[in-house]
């Protein structure tokens, strides 16, 4: 077995076992990142999320070059909305609700243009794509079985939004025994202060949820 790579991270160094660490890219979908989608319908400034796309592409290229496992997730619902609880659809007073028609098709509905991952991060053959009805990627999905099939023990996270779907999934993964690292430049929130605080919560108390590292630190150890 190859020696683990050491990544300078908070709250202390992260040991990445080559081949056993999946890159997990959360919900880099047009519905969250582009105007006219679900994120915008909630009243958010979606332009804040674009900053995470380039750094995520750097990670994705590195994982692909090594042939390591890549997982993409998409928050979306079945066309008949049978997997959408009323508590999720009816919350608050958004401009449009999940399932309503918008400029990129029906909001957060599987197969619609808005639910697709942005073109520069589009999945390629052999990568795992998980469609999920919740904020966490383990709830009501085959993710855990896919990770077991791939022999994955470590998860390196990118994606949006930091404090909603990324943090929820990291917490679910941490409880399932995965060693989790979030890459700071590769994640974004509509609220910069929430991004900072979510990362602070993850690494507090000796890494209660996991680790955080800068993109340069990750790339340095991969070289
Ligand atoms: N609203 C918000 O910040 N996020 C979500 O609804 N989903 C994800 O984070 N993907």
Tokens at residue 5, please? 């790579």
Average pLDDT, the chain: 98
Q: Check if 161 has its Cβ closer than 6 Å to any atom of ligand 1.
A: yes
Which two structure tokens, joined as six digits, stand for 141? Answer: 């999905």
The predicted structure's pLDDT at residue 173: 99
3-class state of residue 141 by DSSP: coil
Tokens representing residue 138 in the block: 């383990």
Q: Is the pLDDT at 217 greater than 80, yes or no? A: yes
User: Do 152 and 161 touch, CB atoms closer than 8 A?
Assistant: no
How many angstroms separate the CA atoms of 213 and 11, rounded? 9
Q: Choosing from 131, 165, 180, 195, which is the catalytic residue?
A: 165
Residue 132 bears catalytic tag: yes
* pLDDT given for residue 1 in this prediction: 66
| Percentage of the residues of the chain whose pLDDT score is greater than 70 | 100
**Mean pLDDT value of segment 87-108:** 97
Which residues fall within 8 angstroms of residue 115, CB to CB, at 6 or more apart? 29, 30, 31, 74, 76, 105, 108, 109
Give the pLDDT score at 68. Answer: 98
Residue 5 backbone zone (phi > 0: left; psi -120 to 50: alpha; other: beta): beta
Instruction: Give the residues across from 180 on adjacent strands.
Output: 155
Q: Mind listing the pLDDT tens digit for each residue in 104-136?
A: 999 999 999 999 999 999 999 999 999 999 999
> Is pLDDT at 185 greater than 80 in this prediction?
yes
pLDDT at 135: 98
Residue 69 has pLDDT above 80, yes or no: yes
Mean pLDDT in residue range 9-28 = 98
Q: Report residue 173 as tokens.
A: 């993964």
Pairing label, strands 21-26, 70-75: parallel
The C-alpha atoms of residue 181 and residue 34 are separated, in whole angstroms, by: 26
The predicted structure's pLDDT at residue 103: 97
User: Using a 6 Å cutoff on CB, does residue 27 contact ligand 1?
Assistant: yes
pLDDT above 90 (res 2): no
pLDDT at 60 over 90: yes
User: What is the structure's pLDDT at 180?
Assistant: 99
**pLDDT at residue 183 above 80?**
yes
Residue 126 has a pLDDT of: 97
Q: Measure the CA–CA gap between 53 and 144, rounded to whole angstroms.
A: 25
Q: Measured from the CA of 38, which atom of ligand 1 is nearest?
A: 6
Mean pLDDT value of segment 14-26 = 98
Catalytic site includes residue 27: yes
């Amino acid at each position: 077995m190859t020696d683990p790579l050491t990544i300078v991270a908070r709250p202390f160094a992260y040991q990445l076992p080559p081949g056993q660490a999946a890159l997990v890219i959360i919900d880099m979908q047009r519905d969250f990142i582009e105007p006219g989608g679900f994120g915008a319908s909630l009243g958010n400034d979606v332009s804040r999320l674009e900053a995470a796309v380039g750094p995520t592409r750097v990670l994705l290229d590195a994982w692909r070059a090594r042939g390591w496992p890549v997982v993409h997730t998409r928050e979306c619902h079945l066309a008949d909305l049978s997997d959408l609880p009323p508590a999720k659809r009816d919350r608050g007073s958004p401009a449009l609700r999940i399932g309503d028609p918008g400029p990129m098709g029906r909001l957060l509905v599987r197969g619609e243009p808005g639910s697709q991952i942005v073109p520069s991060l589009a999945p390629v053959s052999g990568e795992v794509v998980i469609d999920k009805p919740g904020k966490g990627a383990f709830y009501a999905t085959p993710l855990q079985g896919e990770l077991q099939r791939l022999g994955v023990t470590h998860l390196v996270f990118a994606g949006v939004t930091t404090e909603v779907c990324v943090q929820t999934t990291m917490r679910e993964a941490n409880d399932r025994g995965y060693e989790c690292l979030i890459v700071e430049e590769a994640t974004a929130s509509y609220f910069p202060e929430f991004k900072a605080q979510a990362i602070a919560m993850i690494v507090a108390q000796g890494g209660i949820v996991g680790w955080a590292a800068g993109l340069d630190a990750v790339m340095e150890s991969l070289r």
